[in-house]
Amino acid sequence: MARRRRAIKRRQVVDPKFNSELVSRVIRSLMKDGKKTTAERIVYGAIDELKEKTGKDPLEVMDVAIANMKPKVEVKSRRVGGTTYPVPVEIRPARQLSLALRWMIQYASARRGTPMPKAVAAELLVLTSRPSANGRRRARGPQGPSPTGARRVGFLWEREQTGPAGSKACVPSLTSICG
């Protein structure tokens, strides 16, 4: 953590061709080794491909596809009383977008044998047509599948439990200590 002051959020430059912050963000995410012109060529080619295949506004198609790819919850480990619990935590919107773009680029570059503009367009089309496709792809992502009890842990370890002889024993919570 920073010890001085919070970092100032800089205003993002919009894309000059489409006047869109999302397109400029995709270009910056796709850029490698400072080659912005190459990244622009890839993204603009993917947008042209989307326009040909769908016949709709390509920016709306891109927006829907990236919205479908965004994760809502991630599992983080919390250590309480000597044991580590996987706890589902909501994700900030900025992190949701960066994860979605990272995964989209990862899966597009994994499509071997196709040019990158067509691969990016194909990924966006898959995510637009089938919103459930992102769950299947992400389950094998860098984090791996979620732990077995990850969905239930948030409920189980915050409840009061009955101890021996009817006395109430409280399982510790992250936010409060039982009184």
Q: Which residue has the higher pLDDT, 158 or 79?
A: 79
CA 50 to CA 120: how far, in whole Å? 9
Query: Residue 61 has what pLDDT?
Result: 92
Are 116 and 42 in contact, with CB atoms under 8 Å apart?
Answer: yes
CA 25 to CA 28: how far, in whole Å? 5
Q: Where are the domains of the chain?
A: 21-156
CA-angle at 93, arms to 159 and 54, nearest 5°:
120
Residue 58 has pLDDT above 70, yes or no: yes
Range 53-62 average pLDDT: 92
pLDDT confidence tier of residue 45, bands split at 50, 70 and 90: very high
Report percent pLDDT > 70 for the chain: 71
Q: Which residue has the higher pLDDT, 7 or 175?
A: 7
Q: Which residue has the higher pLDDT, 88 or 160?
A: 88
For residue 131, which of 49, 72, 75 has the smallest C-alpha distance?
A: 72
Are 33 and 46 in contact, with CB atoms under 8 Å apart?
Answer: no
Q: Tokens 């919850």: give the residue.
A: 73
Q: Where are the beta strands (DSSP E) in the chain?
A: 73-80, 83-90, 160-162, 168-170
For residue 124, which of 33, 21, 22 has the smallest C-alpha distance?
A: 22
21-156 CATH: 1.10.455.10
CA 138 to CA 145: how far, in whole Å? 8
Distances (CA, A) of 156 to 27, 46, 84, 153, 172: 43, 46, 14, 5, 11
